[in-house]
Homo-oligomer: A and B are copies of this chain.
Amino acid sequence: MSEFAVRAEKAAKAEKLDAGDELAGVRGQFVLDEVVYLDGNSLGALPSAVPGRVEDVVRRQWGELRIRSWDESGWWTAPERIGDRIAPLVGAAAGQIVVGDSTSVNVFKALVAAVRMAGEGRDEILVDATTFPTDGYIAESAARMTGRTLRPVTPAQVPDALSGRTAAVLLNHVDYRTGRLHDLPALTAAVHAAGAVSVWDLCHSAGALPVGLDEYGVDLAVGCTYKYLNGGPGSPAYLYVRGDLQDRFDSPLPGWNSHVEPFGMRSDFTPADGALRGRVGTPDILSMLALEAALEVWDGVSIEAVRAKSLALTDFFLECVAAYAPDGRVESLTPVAHGERGSQVALRCADAGDVMKRLIERGVVGDFRHPDVLRFGFTPLYVGFADVERAARVLGEVLR
A129 to B267, CA, bound (A): 8
Closest 9 interchain pairs by CB?
A102-B281, A104-B255, A104-B281, A233-B285, A134-B256, A46-B63, A234-B284, A137-B269, A31-B63
Within A267-287, the residues touching B (CB, 8 Å) are 267, 269, 280-287
Task: Write out the residue numbers on chain B whose beta carbons fall within 8 Å of the beta carbon of A234.
Answer: 75, 282-286, 288
Report B-chain residues with C-beta under 8 Å of the C-beta of A290: 58, 286
Q: Say which residue of B62, B133, B146, B367 sits within 8 Å of A232 (CB atoms).
A: B62
Indicate if the CB atoms of A58 and B46 lie closer than 8 Å: yes
**How many copies of this chain does the complex contain?**
2
Which residue, of A224, A267, A369, has the highest number of chain B Cβ atoms within 10 A?
A267
Q: Which of A162-170, A186-194, A257-265, A388-396 has 4 or more CB atoms under 8 Å from chain B?
A: A257-265
A317 near B: Cβ within 8 Å?
A: no
The yes or no answer to A253 lying at the interface (CB within 8 A) is yes
Nearest chain B CB to A228 CB, angstrom units: 14
- A residues engaging B (CB < 8 A)? 31, 33, 37, 39, 42-43, 45-46, 50-51, 54-55, 58-59, 61-64, 66-70, 75, 101-105, 108, 112, 129, 132-134, 136-138, 140-141, 145-146, 152, 177, 224, 226, 232-237, 251-259, 263-267, 269, 280-288, 290, 360, 365, 367, 369-370
Q: Which residue of B lies closest to A62 (CB)?
A: B46
* 20 A-B pairs with C-beta separation under 8 A: A51-B59, A51-B63, A58-B232, A61-B233, A66-B365, A67-B365, A105-B255, A108-B252, A129-B267, A133-B256, A134-B255, A134-B256, A137-B254, A137-B256, A141-B252, A141-B253, A145-B146, A234-B286, A265-B369, A284-B284
Q: A51-B63, A58-B51 are in contact. Are A102 and B104 (CB under 8 A)?
A: no
CB distance from A189 to the nearest CB of B (A): 27
Contact B137 A255 (CB under 8 A): yes
